[in-house]
């Protein structure tokens, strides 16, 4: 295994040396007038995929190598020094009767919401900021590059949707088992979630990787087709690592360990911010460089998560694959929430996919570039809510499992109050500073003429930010209590039934152009969020009126 690791390091060095040699040679030829001056070039498909493959293989080999060392030292204590054995014997047991995270989950619901929300708000804000910075760096390459990433985003978001949904399903099942004081059930749910993760990652990545270019050509990517396909294929090649990172952080959150989940996410986000300009501009890899930076960054996060779950083993959950067999009841428990949660996220991807088509019809690829830039800001604005939503799922799951429905109601309403305050502040700031935010996306001469359109998008879309709290946090309550179908229904109402028709109506039918499409987004989100909150409140009131509470 050690030889495998050193082999991948050697290949990566060789690829880097070859790439550097090519850059220096071309630079010398341009000075001599033998080559025309060009924009920073992008990697070709073969080189990009080889880099991604060997980077991913290096990390996977490292995982297995470290894991094998742990197994060998456990099986043959004579290989470990007496001093090391003594340290190991005197160390705390890997699995405690009740960790601090479990105490938080089952304690004061308001404190639990704050304790679990803050780390995830920080982590998701950093993650989204790196996505935003990624878009800004790519926008500097011109409208074609920005449009390429915009076209690729919905399909890549589908992978995120599958992984996130599975994580929500597994996390909800685990939290409910923890609330019911069934640790073995929680452990079993964790193992099932990881096995399902591998199946889902392969099913997602393989067909999209093979048919990437055909898909982007079909949806009208035009001149951006090859760039979008290459960008997406690099990320598809590392799907298993990305899925693992999403699932592993969900497992930690399910047992109330939001801090380590935060650390892993922040590590990847910060690393990506550093690598993006290096790969895109310094190495001259262009848009594929952004994808490679993402793969490397997420791989580093995966290493840390793997270490905590499989090597250090100091989590509440105990993960053992030996003697594993599928249990249809456990699968049903996970997928009852996980499948609707994935479909919920996929409905968002479908909405973005169709919105790209609508805005492309209204204003061509410039419209897609505007929507891509503006939507990345809107997603950044929703990060505090997404962080709180993960806390609501875990806390509501634990309180539901413990049948403490009053605590469940308190957690939901308290999270909602905080969410509304945060999103109102963000909406006001976005409206005021929209022109300044726009400047970050218009550094390229090709993007300057889109400045007014991006500013208009930001000032319209921020109107629905406070209303989002009602919908997102109420939907998370449904996921926490195991009613994933309810969450899916209200999301489809908002994304498919309301947003698409209203955006088409105002933008194309009534001839309002891009602002009309943005108003369709705002109105649909407000209506959908109101319906979600009313349904969630009625459901909780039913629980409170039919079952005695202990909270």
* pLDDT for 60: 46
CB < 8 Å & 24+ apart, contacts of 215-220: 215/155, 216/151, 216/152, 219/151, 219/353, 219/356, 219/357, 220/357, 220/360
**CA–CA gap between residue 150 and residue 156 (Å, rounded):** 10
The pLDDT, as a whole number, for residue 75 is: 38
pLDDT for 493: 92
Q: Is residue 153 classed exposed, middle or buried when 0-12, 13-18 and 19+ CB atoms within 10 A define those classes?
A: buried
In terms of phi and psi (left: phi > 0; alpha: psi -120 to 50; beta: otherwise), the region of 474 is alpha
Give the number of other Cβ atoms within 10 Å of residue 268's Cβ.
25
Residues 538, 429: Cα–Cα separation, whole Å: 34
Q: Quick one: CA dihedral 420, 425, 426, 427, positive or negative?
A: positive
pLDDT for res 46:
53
> Do residues 54 and 8 touch, judged by C-beta distance below 8 A?
yes
Q: Give the pLDDT of residue 548.
A: 55
Residue numbers of the chain with a pLDDT score lower than 50 = 1-2, 5-6, 8-9, 11-13, 15-25, 27-28, 30-31, 35-43, 45, 48-49, 51-56, 58-96, 549-551
Q: What's residue 7's pLDDT? A: 54
In the prediction, which pLDDT does 70 show?
40
Task: Count other C-beta atoms under 10 Å from residue 424's C-beta.
Answer: 14
In angstroms, what CA-CA distances link 117 with 29, 121, 264, 415, 487?
55, 6, 16, 9, 20
What's the confidence (pLDDT) of residue 402? 85
Q: Is 81 exposed, middle or buried (0-12, 13-18, 19+ CB in 10 A)?
A: exposed
Q: Residues 243, 197: contact at Cβ < 8 Å?
A: yes
pLDDT for residue 299: 93
Q: What radius of gyration do the chain's Cα atoms show?
A: 24
Q: Are 199 and 328 in contact (CB under 8 A)?
A: no
Query: Of 463, 479, 543, 535, whose CA–CA distance to 174 is shortest?
Result: 479
Distance (Å, whole) CA 486 – CA 497: 15
Are residues 497 and 505 in contact, defined by beta-carbon separation less than 8 angstroms?
A: no
466-500 as b/e: b if 16+ CB within 10 A: bbbbbbbbbbbbbbbbbbbebbbbbbbbbbbebbb
Measure CA 341 to chain center: 13
Coil/strand/helix, residue 294? helix
Write down the pLDDT at residue 364: 87
Q: Is the dihedral of CA 160, 165, 168, 174 positive or negative?
A: negative
Biggest CA–CA distance in the chain, Å, is 85
Q: Report the distance separating Cα 231 and Cα 225, nearest Å.
A: 10
């Amino acid at each position: 295994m050690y030889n495998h690791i050193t082999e991948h390091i050697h290949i990566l060095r060789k690829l880097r040396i070859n790439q550097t040699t090519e850059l220096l040679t071309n630079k010398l030829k341009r000075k001599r007038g033998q080559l025309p001056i060009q924009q920073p070039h992008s990697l070709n498909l073969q080189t990009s995929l080889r880099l991604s493959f060997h980077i991913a293989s290096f990390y996977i080999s490292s995982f297995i190598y470290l894991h094998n060392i742990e197994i060998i030292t456990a099986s043959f204590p004579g290989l470990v020094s007496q001093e090391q054995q003594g340290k190991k014997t005197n160390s705390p047991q890997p699995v405690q009767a009740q960790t601090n995270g479990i105490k938080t989950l089952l304690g004061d619901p308001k404190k639990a919401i704050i304790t679990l929300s803050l780390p995830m708000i920080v982590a998701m804000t950093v993650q989204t900021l790196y996505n935003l910075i990624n878009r800004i760096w790519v926008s500097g390459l011109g409208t074609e590059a920005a449009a390429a990433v915009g076209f690729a985003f919905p399909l890549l978001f589908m992978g995120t949707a599958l992984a996130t949904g599975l994580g929500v399903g597994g996390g909800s099942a685990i939290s409910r088992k923890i609330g019911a004081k069934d640790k073995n059930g929680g452990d079993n749910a964790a193992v099932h979630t990881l096995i399902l993760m591998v199946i889902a990652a392969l099913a997602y990545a393989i067909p999209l990787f093979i048919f990437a270019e055909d898909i982007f050509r079909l949806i009208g990517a035009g001149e951006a087709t090859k760039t979008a396909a290459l960008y997406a294929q690099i990320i598809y090649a590392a799907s298993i690592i990305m899925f693992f990172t999403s699932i592993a952080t969900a497992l930690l959150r399910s047992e109330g360990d939001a801090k380590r989940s935060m650390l892993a996410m922040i590590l990847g986000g910060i690393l990506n911010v550093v690598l993006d300009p290096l790969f895109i501009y310094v190495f001259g890899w262009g848009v594929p460089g952004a994808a490679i930076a993402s793969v490397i960054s997420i791989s580093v996060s995966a290493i840390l998560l793997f270490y905590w779950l499989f090597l250090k083993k100091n989590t509440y959950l105990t993960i053992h694959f030996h003697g594993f067999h599928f249990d249809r009841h456990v699968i049903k428990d996970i997928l009852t929430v996980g499948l609707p949660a994935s479909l919920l996220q996929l409905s968002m991807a479908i909405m973005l996919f169709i919105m790209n088509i609508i805005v492309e019809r209204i204003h061509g690829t410039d419209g897609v570039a505007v929507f891509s830039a503006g939507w990345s800001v809107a997603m950044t604005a929703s990060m505090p809510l997404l962080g709180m939503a993960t806390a609501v799922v875990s806390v509501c799951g634990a309180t539901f499992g413990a049948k403490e429905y009053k605590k469940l109601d308190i957690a939901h309403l308290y999270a909602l109050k905080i969410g509304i305050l945060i999103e109102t502040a963000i909406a006001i700031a976005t409206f005021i500073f929209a022109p300044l935010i726009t400047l970050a996306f218009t550094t390229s001469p090709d993007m300057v003429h889109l400045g007014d359109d991006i500013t208009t998008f930001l000032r319209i879309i921020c109107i629905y930010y406070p209303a989002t709290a009602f919908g997102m946090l109420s939907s998370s309550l449904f996921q926490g209590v195991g009613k994933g179908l309810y969450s899916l229904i209200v999301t489809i109402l908002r994304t498919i039934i309301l947003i698409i028709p209203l955006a088409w109506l105002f933008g194309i039918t009534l001839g309002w152009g891009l602002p009309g499409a943005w108003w369709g987004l705002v109105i649909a989100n407000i209506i959908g969020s109101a319906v979600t909150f009313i349904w969630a409140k009625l459901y909780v009131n039913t629980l409170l009126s039919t079952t005695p509470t202990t909270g």
